[in-house]
Every structure is written in C-alpha cells, then in structure tokens.
C-alpha cells in the first residue's frame, strides 16, 4: 500500500489582478491511496510577464547615444506603462558636397559644408576639406611604353 498522496494537475488559471496565477491539484483516487490526503490542493506562481510594447521613434544621435520611449499596448500585471531604451550610436553628420576643384599642383579639392538642420548637433565639424591627388595618368602609360630591355634584363628609359 502506497503512503504517498498522488495528485492530478489541472491547467494554470488566468492571471489575477495581483500578478499571480493558480493551479488546482486534485487527488487521484485509488484503492491504495492513503486516507489522510487532502482532496484538493492549490499552488500559485508569479504570472509570466506578457509585456507587448509599441516602439517609439529613435531620437537623433547626441553625444554618442540615442533614445526611444515604448508604450505598453495592452495593460498587463507586472508591466510598466512605458519603457525607455537607450543605445550607443555614431554621430550622423550631414554635409553638402561641392564639386571637385580643377587640378592644381597635382591636387584637387572638394569642400563639405555641414547642413543647417544638423549644425546644432555636437561633434560635427562645420566644414571638411578633402584633398585628392590628380594629374595626367596618360603620362605614366607613355613612360612605361618607352621602356626597353637590354641584354642583362635591366630596364632603361629612352630620352
């Protein structure tokens, strides 16, 4: 004869207003079941959070961080009405680009000017200058065409 009480578990009930849910355990009846067992027991647990949020818009990147506020879709026990999310980000600087200048002394220049709507953002340079080497690439090709090889395989250039 078994001295252990055996119970059958029912499904978990819906969460109540306090964030708890309950399950009923009913005594399994059999001829060998002890007579001192409770016919029904209850167990409780914290409800699993079912927090579903509508995501807000990200703020501009300022000092390496951006922020968003999310709002709870359906009120649920244990869930905050709003939540604030912060992420690190790279500063986004928007520039207006000029055309490349003409080639002078083997260098051409392009100027980038910060757009007015982003000028208030910290960390952006108001003006950036890009320098790029330039020149006649055909001159290099012509120089390599004129190379000759002498019998000892040393390249020479005709004058």
Task: Give the pLDDT confidence score for residue 151 in this predicted structure.
Answer: 47
User: Order of strands across the sheet with 7-9?
Assistant: 7-9, 20-27, 40-46
pLDDT bracket for residue 2 (50, 70, 90)? low
Domains of the chain by residue range = 7-46, 53-88, 95-134
Q: pLDDT tens digit string along 76-120?
A: 767 889 999 999 987 777 888 889 999 989 999 999 888 866 545
Which sign does the torsion angle of CA 28, 29, 30, 36 carry? positive
pLDDT digits (tens, 9 = 90+) for 21-71: 899 999 887 766 667 888 899 999 988 777 889 999 999 887 788 999 999
The pLDDT of residue 123: 67
Measured CA to CA, the distance from residue 25 to residue 39 in angstroms comes to 8
CB 12 within 8 A of CB 44: no
pTM of the predicted model as reported, rounded to 2 decimal places? 0.38
Residue 148 is predicted with a pLDDT of 43
Q: How high is the pLDDT of residue 48?
A: 75
Cα–Cα distances in angstroms (integers) from residue 159 to residues 55, 138, 144, 148, 155, in the given order: 73, 18, 13, 11, 13
pLDDT 10s digits, 121-154: 556 788 889 999 987 654 444 333 444 444 444 4
């Amino acid at each position: 004869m078994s001295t252990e009480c055996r119970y059958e578990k029912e499904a978990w009930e819906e969460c109540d207003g306090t964030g708890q849910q309950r399950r009923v355990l009913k005594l399994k009846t059999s001829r060998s079941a002890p007579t001192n067992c409770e016919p029904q027991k209850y167990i409780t647990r914290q409800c699993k959070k079912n927090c579903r949020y509508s995501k807000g818009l990200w703020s501009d990147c300022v000092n390496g961080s951006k922020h968003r506020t999310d709002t709870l879709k359906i009120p649920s026990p244990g869930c905050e009405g709003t939540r604030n999310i912060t992420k690190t980000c790279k500063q986004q600087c928007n520039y207006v680009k000029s055309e490349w200048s003409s080639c002078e002394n083997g260098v051409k220049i392009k100027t980038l000017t910060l757009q007015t709507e982003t000028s208030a953002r910290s960390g952006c340079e108001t003006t950036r200058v890009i320098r790029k080497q330039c020149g006649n690439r055909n001159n290099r090709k012509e120089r390599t065409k004129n190379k000759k090889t002498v019998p000892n395989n040393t390249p020479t250039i005709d004058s």
